[in-house]
Amino acid sequence: MPLIPTGELVAQARANGRGIGAFNAICLEHAEAIAMGAEAAGQSAIIQISENAVKFHRRQLGPLAMACAQIARGSSAALALHLDHVEDIALLHQAADFGFGSVMYDGSTLAYADNVAATRDAVEWGHSHGLWVESELGEVGGKDGAHAPGIRTDPTEAASFVSATGVDGLAVAVGSSHAMLDRSAALDHPLIAEIAAAVGIPLVLHGSSGVPDEELRQAVAAGMVKINVGTALNIAFTGAVRGYLDGQEKVVDPRKYIAQGREAMADVVAHFIDVLN
Ligand code: G3H
Ligand code: ZN
C-alpha cells in the first residue's frame, strides 16, 4: 500500500472515536514489527522515527527513513511515517525528502514565547510542504531518566498556543512520562477532556508505554487521538532476545535472536492497536 498521509490516519481515528498507535522505530526490524502488528490487528498505524534514533544512526536520517518508507509501502496495512521529537531545525527540514507525512517540532523545554515562535515557524514550513505538524506544550518528562509525571498542561494556555501557532496536533502533559518500564501511570482524564475541548485539535499522548490498557481506553474516550509508544517495544524485544540467548552459547547468527525480538514487538504493537480500537 502507498504511504498514507499522517493527517488522514489521525482524522479517520478521531472521526471514529478511536486512537491511532504511533510506534517508535529504532532499527529496521522495529518498522517490520510495526507493519506485522498492524497487519495482524487489521488496522492502520504510524511508524515514527525520533531525533534520538537519528543520532544513534550516526546522525543520518536517510537510511532508516527510506527503510521505514519501503516497509510501509510493502505492507497491506495503512501506514504513515512521522518524524518525532525534533529540536534540530535542519533535521526537521529533511522530512520533506523521505516520505514523511508529519513532523513533531519539540519546543517543550523552551520558554512559552520561544516555543510559540519556533512552533509557528515549524508549522509554516511543514504546511508549505504538505505535512501535518505536531508540537508539545507542558513537558512530558522521563527522557532524561527522571520521571516527572506531576507536570500538567494548562488548558487556557494550550488554546492560546494552538491559535498562535496553527499547529495540527498537540502533545500535552497529563500524567504520563517517557521510558517507563512498568505500566503504572495514572492519567488526569478530566484534564484531557478539558484540553481537548479548549484546543479543538487532536491531542497526542507521549510516554504511552507506561500507561495501563484501561487508562489508554479512557484517554481516547476523553480526546487523545495519537498514542505514542516506544519503550514497550524495546522491553519486548530485549526480553525475547535475552530469553532466547540464555544458555545458547553456540548461537551467533543475529537473525536467530532478532527474529524472536521482532515477533515479540509485533505482538505488542497488535495489542496496543486492539486497545486503542
Ligand atoms: O514520542 C515517543 C513516545 O512518547 C514514546 O514514549 O517510550 O515511553 O512509550 P515511551
Ligand atoms: Zn514522546
pLDDT attached to residue 139? 79
Distance 107 CA to ligand 2 centre (A): 12
Question: Could you give the CA distance from residue 275 to residue 277 in angstroms, rounded to a whole number?
Answer: 5
The amino acid at residue 213 is D
Beta strands in the chain (DSSP E): 20-24, 45-50, 79-86, 102-105, 132-137, 169-172, 203-205, 224-229
Phi, psi of 92 (to 5 degrees): -50, -45
Q: What is the mean pLDDT of residues 253-270?
A: 98
Average pLDDT of the chain is: 96
* Ligand 1 center to 55 CA (angstroms): 16
Q: What tens digit of pLDDT does each residue of 53-78 get?
A: 999 999 999 999 999 999 999 999 99
SS (H, E, C) 104-134: EECCCCCCHHHHHHHHHHHHHHHHHCCCEEE
**Ligand 1 pocket: which of 49, 213, 228 to mutate (most atoms <8 Å of CB)?**
228
Is the alpha carbon torsion for 41, 21, 202, 100 positive or negative? negative
pLDDT in tens, 77-94: 999 999 999 999 999 999
Residue list, ligand 1 pocket, CB within 6 Å = 24, 84-85, 178-180, 206-210, 228-232
Number of Cβ within 10 Å of residue 37's Cβ equals 26
**In this structure, what C-alpha cell is assigned to residue 246?**
540464555
Asked if residue 208 has pLDDT above 80, the reply is yes
pLDDT at 120 over 90: yes
According to DSSP, the residues that pair with 104 across neighbouring strands are: 134
Please choose from 84, 208, 216, 238 the residue to mutate so as to test ligand 1's pocket, defined by most ligand atoms within 8 A of CB: 208
C-alpha pair distances (Å), 173 with each of 144, 148, 256, 260 = 16, 10, 40, 34
